[in-house]
């Protein structure tokens, strides 16, 4: 059981040239952040610039039988954190990531299982983050998260994530 004030051990970095196994990363995430077990994440997919989760709606139901805004907000924020963490791991960097700022716009009710995608707000974001880390040892990146229920965009979120300096 996790104890307050004690950081969870980091997942070892993948071997150079190898990617994180999504199942291994999600298993670690469930241990590191206990609420993840209850989010309904069914699958994680990623490519060079996009990270996506497919999620079941039942764990996030509200009293109206649709998606609970607080749960959906937590999921978008966490997906952004995962995007930055996995980007760092891909670049063989073990660093702490924190959300510096986040906002959401709710556009339509979530009425079924859904997917959330996350990608940089600007195409140059990852290069600028890499340059900042190399020059100053820390950096920030702006990400967009979109929650889709079928073909309907239900929520759009924006987050600024900070990569802290090495210990």
Split into its structural domains, the chain has a count of 1
Share of the chain above pLDDT 70, in %: 99
- Report pLDDT digits (tens) over 75-92: 999 999 999 999 999 999
- Report pLDDT digits (tens) over 107-157: 999 999 999 999 999 999 999 999 999 999 999 999 999 999 999 999 999
Query: Does residue 6 fall inside a structural domain?
Result: no
| pLDDT of the residue at 167 | 77
Query: Does residue 147 fall inside a structural domain?
Result: yes
Query: Does residue 3 fall inside a structural domain?
Result: no
Quote the distance between the C-alpha of residue 155 and its chain's center: 15
| pLDDT of the residue at 3 | 84
Query: Does residue 5 fall inside a structural domain?
Result: no
| pLDDT of the residue at 33 | 94
The whole model's pTM is what?
0.95
| Whether the predicted pLDDT of 1 surpasses 80 | no
Query: Does residue 67 fall inside a structural domain?
Result: yes
Query: Does residue 159 fall inside a structural domain?
Result: yes
Among 2-6, 119-123, 131-135, 160-164, the least confident range: 2-6
Is the separation of the CB atoms in 39 and 71 below 8 Å? yes
Is the separation of the CB atoms in 160 and 101 below 8 Å? yes
| Whether the predicted pLDDT of 17 surpasses 80 | no
Tell me, what CATH number does 29's domain have? Answer: 3.10.129.10
| pLDDT of the residue at 111 | 97
Q: Which two tokens stand for residue 9?
A: 């051990």
Query: Does residue 142 fall inside a structural domain?
Result: yes
Q: Which residues span the domain enclosing 31?
A: 22-114+121-163
Query: Does residue 14 fall inside a structural domain?
Result: no
Round to whole Å and give the CA distance between 84 and 140.
9
Round to whole Å and give the CA distance between 126 and 94.
16
């Amino acid at each position: 059981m996790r104890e307050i004030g004690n950081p969870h051990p980091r997942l070892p970095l993948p071997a150079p040239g190898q990617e994180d196994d999504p199942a291994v990363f999600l298993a670690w995430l469930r241990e590191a952040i206990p609420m993840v077990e209850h989010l309904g994440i069914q699958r994680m997919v990623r490519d060079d610039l996009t990270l996506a989760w497919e999620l079941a709606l039942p764990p996030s139901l509200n009293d109206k039988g649709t998606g609970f805004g607080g749960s959906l907000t937590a999921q978008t924020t966490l997906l952004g954190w995962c995007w930055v963490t996995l980007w760092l791991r891909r670049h063989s960097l073990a660093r702490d990531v924190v959300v510096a700022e986040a906002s959401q716009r709710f556009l339509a009710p979530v009425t079924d299982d859904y997917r959330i995608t996350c990608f940089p707000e600007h195409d140059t974001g990852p290069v600028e983050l890499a340059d900042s880390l190399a020059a100053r040892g820390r950096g920030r990146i702006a990400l967009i998260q979109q929650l889709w229920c079928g073909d309907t965009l239900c929520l759009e979120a924006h987050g600024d994530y900070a990569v802290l300096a090495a210990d």
